[in-house]
Amino acid sequence: MNFYPHRFVHNPYSFFVQESATAAIFDRASQLKRAGKPVISLCVGEPDFPIPTPIKEAIIQGVENNNTRYTPTAGLFELREAIAAKLLRDNGLVYSPEQIVVSNGAKQSIMQAMTVLLQPGDSVLIPAPYWPSYRDMAILNGAVPVEIPTQIKHQYKLTPDLLHGYLSSATKAKILLLCSPSNPTGSVYSRSELKALVSVISEFPQLFILSDEIYEYLLYEGEHVSIASFPEISARCIVINGFSKSFCMTGLRIGFAAAPLRISTELIKVQSHLTSCAGSLSQVAALAALRLQRESLSPMLQQFKERRDLVCNRLMELGNCVEFFTPQGAFYVFVDVSRVLRANPAGIQSDTELCLFLLENHCIALVPGSGFGCPGALRISYSISKMQLETAMDAFVKGIQTISSTP
């Protein structure tokens, strides 16, 4: 028997990358679906709305115009100009088109930013719960992911004291990841919260900030503030954003990074060897998206908000069995179920077991918090129709009530 599988792996970094913690849930959910069970997925990571018609038309026009060749590595100049204008208008950020690198999705932009910034042994600070790819991308780049557990009483946001503590002890901290609005919690950093973090960051000049703002437009209350808008640290920020979530363009794969020139130049070099450029038709689609009036997204936002409220109202029926807060953005509610697990009524020991129980017995699929570095919680995605959501929340409430009342 082989106890040393790493001997057979050429790259030690890829060996340590974890398989998705949700694989067990997804596999079982598809088995059940194939067996004809009416499984409703609350795992969805993309908007369930179609792309706006003007974007579809722009793609068709792009085909007619033969926009099917390589573009410049960093993206069509016109698109980068439009992104720069967006960053100024929405976020008060001043970038030239040369500082913007369009990629095949925010995921690629984050990976490339890490490749450019990290040296083997550097640490990447990741507030938990987090989007899992941050951790694995850090590992793939030879760095050490340092998870910073946050608390529900702070809506899972990093506090200045917490950050200061980690920065003081993690001497090789090179990158801090921030995601607002957040996947998986939907929480949003306010201007004053960011300001307090900025004053800590100012003490640590070696640190770069990767600010993932992909859910920027999916905001139901308050304002979106980019940490890069604080002049004290703007030269150390890389803003990541994209079109997947705001414009329902997940399959078109378009994201971007906005960075100081010395970094954008490096990003372009890396991208030139990975994908040459982002898909040309998708870039045409992104340009059309930026030409839309932002108000045209209001009907989608209204529906997401109603669904969010539906989920939160139903969760209230569970009293203090569960803990949660009403998120301001994205399309997720993150629910702390540690009380249910502590009581351990039906022998359910972990969030993953609880998800499997809800799947087997109540036909709903959810992602366990441990997949996001936060065991004892579950993520509910409300990117499904209201009707389905009603049914799924009936099942969720019933499932939790059943196990909570098991003698």
Residue whose CB is less far from ligand PLP, 99 or 112: 112
Q: What would you measure as the largest C-alpha separation in the chain, in angstroms?
A: 68
| Of the candidate residues 22, 183, 211, 234, the single one contacting ligand PLP (CB under 6 A) | 183
| Contacts of ligand PLP in 17-56 (CB under 6 A) | 45
| Residue 371 is a binding residue for ligand PLP (CB under 6 A) | no
| Of the candidate residues 175, 179, 277, 315, the single one contacting ligand PLP (CB under 6 A) | 179
| Contacts of ligand PLP in 238-267 (CB under 6 A) | 242, 244, 250, 255
Q: Please report how close the Cβ of residue 127 comes to ligand PLP at its closest, in angstroms.
A: 12
Residue whose CB is less far from ligand PLP, 333 or 340: 333
Which stretch in 23-31, 101-109, 140-148, 156-164 sits in contact with ligand PLP by CB under 6 A? 101-109
Residue whose CB is less far from ligand PLP, 73 or 112: 112
Q: Please report how close the Cβ of residue 243 comes to ligand PLP at its closest, in angstroms.
A: 7
| Residue 106 is a binding residue for ligand PLP (CB under 6 A) | yes
Residue whose CB is less far from ligand PLP, 255 or 369: 255
Q: Please report how close the Cβ of residue 123 comes to ligand PLP at its closest, in angstroms.
A: 20
Residue whose CB is less far from ligand PLP, 330 or 363: 330
The site map against ligand PLP for 184-223 (x = CB under 6 A) is: ----------------------------x-x---------
| Residue 135 is a binding residue for ligand PLP (CB under 6 A) | no
Which stretch in 99-107, 146-154, 226-234, 286-294 sits in contact with ligand PLP by CB under 6 A? 99-107
CB-nearest residue to ligand PLP: 105
Residue whose CB is less far from ligand PLP, 163 or 177: 177
CA-closest candidate to residue 330, choices 181, 190, 189: 181
| Residue 392 is a binding residue for ligand PLP (CB under 6 A) | no
| Residue 105 is a binding residue for ligand PLP (CB under 6 A) | yes
The site for ligand PLP (CB under 6 A) is made up of: 45, 105-107, 131, 179, 183, 212, 214, 242, 244, 250, 255
